[in-house]
Amino acid sequence: MLISQRPTLTEEVVSENRSRFVLEPLEPGFGYTIGNSLRRTLLSSIPGAAVTSIRIEGVLHEFTTVPGVKEDVTDIILNLKGLVVSSVEDEPVTMYLKKQGPGPVTAGDIVPPAGVEVHNPDLHIATLNEKGRLEIELVVERGRGYVPAGLNKDAGHEIGRIPVDSIYSPVLKVSYKVEATRVHQRTDFDRLVLDVETKNSMTARDALASAGKTLVELFGLARELNEEAEGIEIGPSPAEADHIAAYGMPIDDLELSVRSYNCLKREGVHTVGELVARSESDLLDIRNFGQKSIDEVKVKLVELGLSLKDAPPGFDPASVAGYDAETGTWSNDDGGDAYLETEQL
């Protein structure tokens, strides 16, 4: 069954770390189904990085103090829980902090290794007096969700290694609401509004994309039970629909030069769909179809949002010799292909 109108997803950037997404129109009931699934996945299953354990020079356990440091070890650990980091490494990595007083100690004093980044360098960690000195070794790992300190404690931990609570999730808050929206004469379709706020280590857009990928992978397990099972089809996007319509367009409508048009007709290319199925090398094999004819065809296809088969992205019509991209006209100074002729024989 085909949905009468393909849903569209739009993003409104509220701030650097917060976006509001709108998905509409959805079949009745799907707003809550999709909204709840995305919210739970965003809050629990987005991978991230966090500190899992620390070692402070001269400290054997967390219930003590460090000479010359205003905060006790428990307060230092509490402050470190607010550290926002990202890591591209799958294995645990170590960061180091060394600071001599007097003055404040912030996350900006941490020296991360390659592949690890501290995203909130202004985070306050401790305060040192004139004689204060603080050296901390921090282990960073990747994971998902929340892991309490007790689960971060390994039997082989060295003396003085203190496990800490790890909050891996880069997502801070997620909320959603479902509103009614209209499709033609029906007013019972759903409009899903999803509000996502993240830490500095990930944008809301990337977090939602990650959640969507996770759900697709999981729901794919059910689909694999029967690939031929009947379900709802959402149809092509507006851009895809435009492309499909363009494929049936006769090449007469491209208003090509006489030479290019006749060469394609002799080769049996009658529609835009047949044209985009050819690569540049395929067209160059056509008699009397040279590079200038290729350029002309590429310019016409770009205007339709299309390209030749296997064509690299980023073609710029302004880079074509003899073509004025502003006026859409060709010059014919060198006696080459008759670009100015549009009569099709």
Report the domain count for the chain: 3
- What torsion do the CA atoms of 278, 283, 284, 286 make, to the nearest 10 degrees? 140
User: Do residue 36 and residue 179 come from a single domain?
Assistant: yes
Closest CA to 65 of 130, 124, 132: 132
What does the alpha-carbon distance between residue 176 and residue 90 come to, in Å, rounded to a whole number?
32
Domain for residue 228, yes or no?
no
pTM across the whole model: 0.68
| Cα–Cα dist 138/112, whole Å | 9
> Would you call the peptide bond into 236 cis, given omega within 30 degrees of 0 as the criterion?
no
Q: Which pLDDT score is estimated for 239?
A: 60
Instruction: Assess if residue 306 is contained within a domain.
Output: yes
118 within some domain: yes
User: Beta strands 85-87 and 116-118: pairing type?
Assistant: antiparallel
Give me the half-sphere count of Cα atoms (radius 13 Å) on the Cβ side of residue 190.
19
In total, the chain counts a number of residues equal to 345
The verdict on 41 and 183 lying in the same domain is yes
Tell me what pLDDT residue 325 has.
Answer: 63
Give the residue from 167, 182, 203 where a domain finishes: 167
Q: How far is Cα 307 from Cα 313, in angstroms, rounded to an integer?
A: 9
- Reading phi first (left if > 0) and then psi (alpha if -120 to 50, else beta), residue 141 is in beta
Q: Would you state the pLDDT for residue 314? A: 66
What pLDDT is recorded for position 242? 62
Q: Is the dihedral of CA 276, 280, 282, 288 positive or negative?
A: positive
pLDDT at 194: 97
If we measure between CA atoms, which residue out of 45, 46, 26, 43 comes closest to residue 175?
Answer: 43
Residues 148 and 55 occupy one common structural domain: yes
Is the CB of residue 66 less than 8 Å from the CB of residue 110?
A: no
Query: Same domain, yes or no, for 69 and 133?
Result: yes
Q: Which residue has the tokens 């205003």?
A: 70
Shared domain for 254 and 322, answered yes or no, is yes
123: domain CATH number is: 2.170.120.12
Q: pLDDT value at position 114?
A: 93
> Which phi and psi (to 5°) does residue 278 adopt?
-100, 145
Give yes or no: residues 72 and 152 share one domain. Answer: yes
Answer yes or no: do 246 and 268 share one domain: yes
User: What pLDDT does residue 187 have?
Assistant: 87
Cβ–Cβ < 8 Å for 18, 207? no
Name the residue among 132, 133, 42, 134 with its Cα closest to residue 80. Answer: 134
pLDDT along the chain (345 residues), means of 10: 72 94 92 96 95 93 91 94 94 94 93 94 95 94 92 77 94 96 86 96 95 94 86 66 74 87 89 87 88 86 82 70 66 47 40
Structural domain including 189 reads 8-45+174-223
CATH number at 304 reads 1.10.150.20
